[in-house]
Amino acid sequence: MRAANQDTPDDDGAAPGARGELRRQLRERRRLRAAVLVLVSVVLLGAVPLFFGVRTLSRDPVFDNLDQLNVPGWAATKTVDDVSGSRWCLLDCRLRERTVTSDKSPEETTTVYETALRQDGWQPWKVSRCPEQETKGTYTCWRRDELTLDLWVRSPTCVPPPVDGEPALVPSPEPSAAAAECTGSLVSVKVRNAIDDERTRPQPATDPSLTGEDPFPTVSADPLGDVTPSPS
């Protein structure tokens, strides 16, 4: 009987210890779940701003501004953007180029784009080398704040360029077929930083008095025409 009585306290003492261990494990699980929830919340809250931040850095705001130009849908049926250079002008400043397809004539398209640019705060810029070389269609230059913009509107190319190894396509002799292929117009927009646009800098003078003599003058007469032959 004494031995049985001695075993009872040991069993009673083991039960509270097991219950304490179980409570400790439950507390650790709760802490682990709470830590996981906090970690997931931090990741989610940080991922959303990071996503929009990367999107903002990758998307040039100039293109967003061009998207907001008040032009009708027929004047921008297809848009292709291209960008080069650095936004912070490291080595080369950023150059934004946009090509747009319009369903209507170059004259109508030019009118709506010039009106939209004025409404957006762009001012016509009368400057030499606008365009830098003779082009067909309408070519105008604009300035706003620290940016310059070139707008070129012209008729589309009716005949595609030849492909290597293949003969060039010959235009159809039927006027109706040519008219169907050549309707509408093409719009090119080029936006640069004003500090990187050479036309904003002082242009060199072309006065001949400032260039000096030509080191290699052109000889108009035969230099040997007046030479007297020596007697033999």
pLDDT in tens, 136-192: 999 999 999 999 999 999 999 875 545 555 544 444 445 444 444 678 999 999 999
Looking at every residue in the chain, the average pLDDT score rounds to 75
Alpha helices per DSSP H over the chain: 2-58, 61-67, 106-119, 175-181
CA pseudo-torsion sign 115, 116, 119, 123: negative
| Dihedral pair phi/psi, residue 220, rounded to 5° | -90, -35
pLDDT tens for 94-135 read 899 999 999 999 999 999 999 999 999 999 999 989 998 888
pLDDT at residue number 85: 86
With 80 as the cut, is the pLDDT of residue 74 above it? yes
Cα angle, residue 189 at apex, residues 153 and 150 outer, rounded to 5°: 85
d(CA 130, CA 182): 26
